């Protein structure tokens, strides 16, 4: 199935909202991670979201090119082709783009989607995230409105954030911020809704104590009821149809009870990166440790090409990532719910 059209993407989000489930949104950095993600969604009969960060795009472009937007275009085009081999719907998304990277990362991707649409194709990405949460809310919303108007022209959904996800990701470190910054208020949620809803559909990464990275159970103090209270405030004023499409960032280490509680409050997308990174790397390390004399040419021996061939361990990494993402589909209740051909 080709990548979801803008209309199919909206149907995906509607189905998740009405059905009380969410899509895992996995960050990829290579063809190997993309293939693992596609296999996982297909094996789970779950539609899904594949996304790229600026750091992931930069890595994909190679050391010589070192261009986040270009690398993201290359991988996105590859996923467009690869997705044709699978019978589920896949949407492409970009993760956190901070204000300082709008011109170098987000706008070139929007221009590429504009070029594609002028040629009779769909947009390259179905949604983008602008994370201007580092700015005061008024400035955040002003930039969000500017970018959202461009997205609406291109049939692209914009994801925004108010409140701050803690921790560090792709070099953006918010670990030193006071705790209250990790919690979006009902007033913030009302401002976001009333500012952006007149322009079109959007997704909202409201924060409720979530933190990027990997932590032991109990270390991260989530308050999912923040999502409930914010949604209620908006819906009490604007009606049931005002329920927002919420996004859960920083879910690594959260209990399944916490994950599923957020589904009751309108979460339709949950980012997964830290856990799938570990799932990808663990079998590579095991392979090298178990085959160290073949992988390394110790004491001037010749080694064993079969075990230092990158394919020998990257296949294991792909399968492990696939299995972890399948578990995420189960946790978020998207397994078996693909709307493709339904």
Helices (H) then strands (E): counts for the chain: 13, 10
The Cα–Cα gap between 250 and 157 comes to 21
The Cα–Cα gap between 19 and 108 comes to 35
- The β-bridge relationship of strands 168-169 and 172-173 is antiparallel
| DSSP run (H or E) holding 328 | helix 310-331
Largest CA distance in the chain: 74
The Cα–Cα gap between 44 and 21 comes to 14
Q: Which of 47, 67, 95, 188 is catalytic?
A: 95
**Per-position DSSP letters for 177-216, written without gaps between them:** S-GGGGB--HHHHHHHHHHHTTT--EEEEE-BS-BSS---
Q: Which of 43, 15, 16, 41 is nearest to 26 (CA)?
A: 41
Whether 93 contacts 51, CB under 8 Å: yes
Is there a catalytic annotation at residue 331? no
Burial of 257 (0-12, 13-18, 19+ CB in 10 A): exposed
- The two three-digit tokens of residue 106, written as one number: 């987000």
**Residue 137 Cα distances to 101, 181, 187, 192, 201, angstroms:** 18, 12, 11, 9, 19
- The two three-digit tokens of residue 76, written as one number: 């996105």
Whether 267 contacts 246, CB under 8 Å: yes
- Phi, psi dihedrals of residue 46, rounded to the nearest 5°: -120, 135
Q: Tokens 């209270």, residue?
A: 229
Q: What's 122's DSSP letter?
A: P
Q: What are the catalytic residues?
A: 95
């Amino acid at each position: 199935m080709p990548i979801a059209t803008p209309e199919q993407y909206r149907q995906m989000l509607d189905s998740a909202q009405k059905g009380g489930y969410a899509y895992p949104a996995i960050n990829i950095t290579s063809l190997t991670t993309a293939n693992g993600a596609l296999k996982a969604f297909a094996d789970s009969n779950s539609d899904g979201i594949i996304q790229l960060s600026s750091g992931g795009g930069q890595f994909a472009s190679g050391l010589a090119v070192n261009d986040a937007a270009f690398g993201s275009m290359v991988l996105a085009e590859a996923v467009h082709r690869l997705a044709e081999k699978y019978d589920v719907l896949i949407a492409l998304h970009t993760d956190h783009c901070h204000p300082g990277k709008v011109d170098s990362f987000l706008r070139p991707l929007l221009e590429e989607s504009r070029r594609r649409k002028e040629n009779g194709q769909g947009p390259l990405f179905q949604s983008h995230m602008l994370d201007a949460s580092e700015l005061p809310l008024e400035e955040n919303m002003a930039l969000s409105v500017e970018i959202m108007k461009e997205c609406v022209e291109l049939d692209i959904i914009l994801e925004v954030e108010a409140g701050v996800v803690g921790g560090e990701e792709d070099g953006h470190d918010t670990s030193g911020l006071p705790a209250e910054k990790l919690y979006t208020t009902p007033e913030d949620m009302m401002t976001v809704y009333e500012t952006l809803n007149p322009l079109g559909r959007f997704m909202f990464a409201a924060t409720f104590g979530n933190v990027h990275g990997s932590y032991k159970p109990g270390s991260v103090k989530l308050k999912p009821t923040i999502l409930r209270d914010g949604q209620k405030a908006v819906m009490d004023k604007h009606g049931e149809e005002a329920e927002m499409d919420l996004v859960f960032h920083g879910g690594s280490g959260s209990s399944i009870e916490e994950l599923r509680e957020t589904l009751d409050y309108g979460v339709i997308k949950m980012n997964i990166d830290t856990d799938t990174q570990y799932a990808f790397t663990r079998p590579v390390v095991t392979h090298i440790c178990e085959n160290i004399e073949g992988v390394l040419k110790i004491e001037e021996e010749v080694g064993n090409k079969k075990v230092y061939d990158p394919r020998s361990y990257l296949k294991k990494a792909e399968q492990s990532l696939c299995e972890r993402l399948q578990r995420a589909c189960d946790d978020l209740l998207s397994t078996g719910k693909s709307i493709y051909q339904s």
